[in-house]
A and B are shown apart, each in its own frame.
Chain A
Amino acid sequence: MPKLTIDGQEIEVAAGTNLIEAARQLGIEVPHYCYHPGLSIAGQCRLCMVDIEKTPRPTIACNTQATDGMVVHTDTERVKQTRQSMMEFHLVNHPLDCPVCDQAGECWLQIYYMKHGLYDPRMTDEKVHKPKAVPLGPHVMLDAERCILCSRCVRFCDEVTGTGELGIFHRGDHSEIGLFPGRDLTNNYSANVVDICPVGALTDRDFRFQVRVWYLDTAKSICTGCARGCNIEVHVNRRRPHHAEGRRVARLKPRFNAEVNAWWLCDVGRYHFGFVDGPSRLTAPARRGPGGSAEAGWDDAVAAVADALRRHPPEQVAVLASPRMANEDLIALRRLLEALRIRQVAFDVPPATPTEGDPFLLRADRTPNRRGAELIGLGGDAAGILAAARGGRLRCLWVFHHDLLATGWPASEAAEALGRVETVIFTGPNANATSDRAHWVLPAAAWVEREGTFTNFEGRVQRFRTAVDPLGGALAEWDTLGRVLGALGSPVDAGRAEHWFRALAATVPAFARLTYQSLGDAGQMVAGATSAGAPAPPGRRARVTA
């Protein structure tokens, strides 16, 4: 373990640590563009120069490993002048079009110019012109004039996805990023190049021009696109509601977790949020009667649902839970089932079309909490419940999230089943063919509108936080279930998701000793589970075998 001194502070770092990371551990930022901890060292931007004692001139920190006794200075006059020079070089041919650039506000050219540049521009000649607004694929737009040729995107496609769509073409100041002939940036991780692009060269076609980034608020969350549970940040626009046609969730961004997704997020998960602000959102409890559907207050809805559950013998009542529900919802549901002695419960409804995983992060299971539902003991015979409904043996069926008419089951059988049940209750964030057939519809808050936890496929319990308020009168499922329990005469003292998590830890041994505090930002494994860590990127694996 080499011990070195950076700006007068001593630090011991792991062997092989470079000077950017060593300085970072001391809270010292060495500015850089091309270096990214998830990619190979390129040494191209030349911005991360530092002074090392006994070295004649500034050295790039990214390609210098810490050695014992090394004395590093990141703030000498020479280093400052070098940074200023590098900023000037980076901006010589840059269009300086910040007012119309979607990256403005989170652009490292802007940030580093203000921190390390602040020179008087001397470039008075015509700049080099390059292609602008070039779609590289379904999600990524290129502006080659804004590109600083750090090659992060090229290295990402070579080393992480192993797909190699991108290259740098031409030479000198005519160099530009582009697609190899016949290729499109269509890999399932394409939008990560937008995340790692330090400037406005690569922007997200879904997000660009929707809202200025300085109007965004962020919340730490978990992706619900599959069972991996990639750590994300939800970026929401609460301050300019008239932008982006009122859509509140602006984008999802990956959040580093060494054990789950490292720096990355797949496109399937990244764009799995449109339903939150979609037109099919359910915003108020509703009752469907012979005369059509009518909105109802929560008190009436809860009373009616409680009555329907209580009115029938438990063997004539069934619940189809969902692996999209949080652990807190599932433990509340378990409490309800126990109170009413209902034994017919299941969550495993086959998807309409089988899904496949990919060689990296995406799992075949496109739900975020199957493991949680299993551990909480809600697994059962879903097909049996459907058969019981079709056979007229069910009087009351509560369906969470699922659209039973769009599953692996024949839609006609599902429609028949729903038609034969006296009271169908539906809870979910969005309307579907099942909610259209339900007698009571109870709107659920989407995951970004509430907090809770999911248990990923490995057994990692991870928190997601509230990013925006629920739309209309939507409630978290645990809240609805708690109210129904109250109406059934079993009041609960759980007024927050965390209270239900405590109940979960007290009830289900796998969750014992876990608390919201102990989960932190990176999550914790349930008892007995071990993590294999974030998978090695396919690009790197290919390299190892070759």
Chain B
Amino acid sequence: MAETVLMRNFDRANSHTLPVYRAAGGYGAWEKAAAMDPVAITEEVKKANLRGLGGAGFPTGMKWSFIPKSHTGPVYLVVNADEGEPGTFKDRYLLERDPHALIEGMLIAARAIRSAVGFVYIRGEYVQPWRIFSAAVREAYGAGLLGNGFEIVVHRGAGAYICGEETGLLSSLEGKKGWPKIKPPFPAIKGAFGQPTIVNNVETLACVPPIIARGAEWFAGLGTTTQGGTRIYSVSGRVKRPAVYEASVSITLRQLIELAGGVSGTGRLKAVVPGGGSAAILTADEIDVTMDVDGLKAAGSMIGSAGVIVMDESVSIPEALLVLARFYAHESCGQCTPCRESTGWIEKMVHRLVEGHGRKDDLDTILDVAKRGGGTTICAFYDGAIGPYISYIEKFRSEFEALCRS
């Protein structure tokens, strides 16, 4: 297995405190970066092949370079800690076990994009992570790491999945209803409070100090040719040791399940969701796939937030879909029409199927409705929702048909 980068401090006693973080070499990368030219920092991150670990997998260095050079007003760094993707819990561990890694990553990123203020938007339900992270921020202020050209504002969400979508997050941060914004303009041009803004995931920024400390080539070498580094996989469901696991992005899904102790329950694998609730499901035959952005894309799914949900043969796929259909109907923000109307409609149809009142043409209706709405919405929420709608039915159609009356 690849070396431990992101979880390197997790097992130290009091790893969330500044002295322990410092004793392990913490803030050394920041000292190095503070002497670097901002453009050189961005170039280093680009060379490291770091790609966003929140879900979209966008190259981080490239994103940073979108801030208009001519802009003279404030630039904001926003950390997306609204971890809500079903089956994902990696950021929670980072916030609780290594909050200073995020603060250090923010300091370096802020220097690269010339930002003086960073906002950390923490999921409302994450009370303990919020407490621990806030304490770390106070420590950093006390040590003079913060407050000398860079401030951090911690903001708690109020429990809406859509506020994890970067522009929904920005709306919420601005005090508005958490509705995603239409693009263009993109946040790097006009983001929080109308100013150029970079939104990065917690884990993405936690990768930055090691990149600066140990070099882009080392980090890039940990992964594939198109994506560098390791990442934290949240493995849950029917595995013997559900937990977070750090591994290279080039690990295969089969290896990862073995890392988590193998399939529990019946012991026979039925299906795996490889990248959080919104990723298309993979059958037991499809798990020899590498867990990088491009590998899963080629397999017709996505790595997303790397939330791996394992299902053994006892799991009912229609019932699993109902759980997700309920989730999407409940969490659709309601702003744009296709998502607002069809998430509810599809939930009703799936519910009816699971209750035994379905008709065979319901399956085609769900598939058609999902496909018609795909790619037509303001944000990626609906495209995320149709991943399961379509893949669960197409790959396990007979299971659904068995529930139908006619």
Contact = CB atoms under 8 A, between A and B. Distances in A.
Nearest to B162: A171
Interface string A309-332: 000000000000000000000000
A171 B373 CA distance: 18
Interface string A53-86: 0000110100100000000000000000110011
Nearest to A63: B182
Contact of B340 (A58, A82, A175): A175
B404 to A, nearest CB: 14
Contacts of B348: 125-126
Contacts of A63: 182, 184
B182 A173 contact: no
A149 interface: yes
B108 to A, nearest CB: 34
Contacts of B160: 171
A44 B334 CA distance: 9
A172 interface: yes
B149 to A, nearest CB: 28
B243 interface: no
B128 interface: no
Nearest to B328: A172
A46 interface: yes
B324 to A, nearest CB: 14
B49 interface: no
Contacts of A44: 335-337, 378
Interface string A23-52: 000000000000000000111111101000
Nearest to B359: A124
Interface string A121-159: 011011010000000000000000000110000000000
B401 interface: no
A46 B377 contact: yes
B66 interface: no
Contacts of B376: 46, 49, 57-58, 82, 85-86
A82 B182 CA distance: 19
B344 A89 contact: no
Nearest to A173: B344
A50 to B, nearest CB: 12
Contacts of A43: 182, 336, 378
Contact of A46 (B330, B336, B344): B336
Q: How many A residues are at the interface, by size bracket? A: 35 or more
A43 B184 CA distance: 11
A471 to B, nearest CB: 47
B331 interface: yes
* Residue of A41, A90, A149, A173 contacting most chain B CB atoms (<10 Å): A173
Nearest to B178: A171
Contact of A81 (B340, B349, B372, B378): B372
Secondary structure type dominating chain A contacts: loop
A92 interface: yes
A445 to B, nearest CB: 48
Interface in B298-344: 329-338, 340-344
Nearest to A47: B337
A174 interface: yes
Nearest to B348: A125
Nearest to A33: B337
Nearest to A148: B337
A88 B329 CA distance: 17
Interface string B344-355: 110011001000
A45 B337 contact: yes
B356 interface: no
Interface in B364-390: 365, 369, 372-373, 375-378
Contacts of B335: 44, 149
A174 B345 CA distance: 12
A82 B335 CA distance: 18
Given A171-B334, A174-B334, A89 B341 contact: yes
B345 A168 contact: no
A172 B334 contact: yes
A73 B340 CA distance: 27
B177 interface: yes
A374 to B, nearest CB: 46
B331 A172 contact: yes
B365 A168 contact: no
Contact of A172 (B182, B184, B332, B377): B332
B378 A85 contact: no
Interface in B69-115: none
Nearest to B352: A125
A93 interface: yes
Nearest to B182: A43
Nearest to A58: B376
Given A41-B182, A57-B375, A126-B348, A173 B343 contact: yes
Contacts of B177: 167-168
B337 A86 contact: yes
A404 B166 CA distance: 66
Nearest to B372: A85
A45 B376 CA distance: 10
Contacts of B345: 92, 123, 125, 173
Contact of B338 (A89, A125, A170): A89
A93 B344 contact: yes
Nearest to B365: A122
Contacts of A173: 329, 332, 334, 340-341, 343-345
Contacts of A122: 365, 369
Contacts of B329: 172-173
Contacts of A57: 375-376
Contacts of A171: 160, 162, 330-334
B119 to A, nearest CB: 21
A88 B352 CA distance: 20
B260 to A, nearest CB: 34
A517 B314 CA distance: 82
Contacts of B336: 43-46
Nearest to A126: B348
Contacts of B184: 63
A122 B368 CA distance: 11
Contacts of B334: 149, 168, 170-175
Interface in A165-197: 167-168, 170-175
Nearest to B161: A171
* Residue of B184, B330, B332, B335 contacting most chain A CB atoms (<10 Å): B335
Given A63-B182, A81-B372, A171-B330, 6 more contacts: A41-B182, A43-B182, A89-B340, A149-B335, A172-B334, A173-B343
Interface of B: 160, 162, 177, 182, 184, 329-338, 340-345, 348-349, 352, 365, 369, 372-373, 375-378
30 contacts: A42-B182, A43-B336, A44-B335, A44-B336, A44-B378, A46-B336, A46-B338, A58-B376, A63-B182, A85-B372, A85-B373, A86-B338, A89-B338, A89-B340, A89-B342, A90-B337, A90-B341, A92-B344, A125-B348, A148-B337, A149-B337, A170-B334, A171-B160, A171-B330, A171-B333, A172-B329, A172-B332, A173-B343, A173-B345, A174-B334
By Cβ-Cβ distance, the 6 closest A-B pairs, closest first, are A175-B334, A173-B344, A43-B182, A172-B332, A85-B372, A125-B348
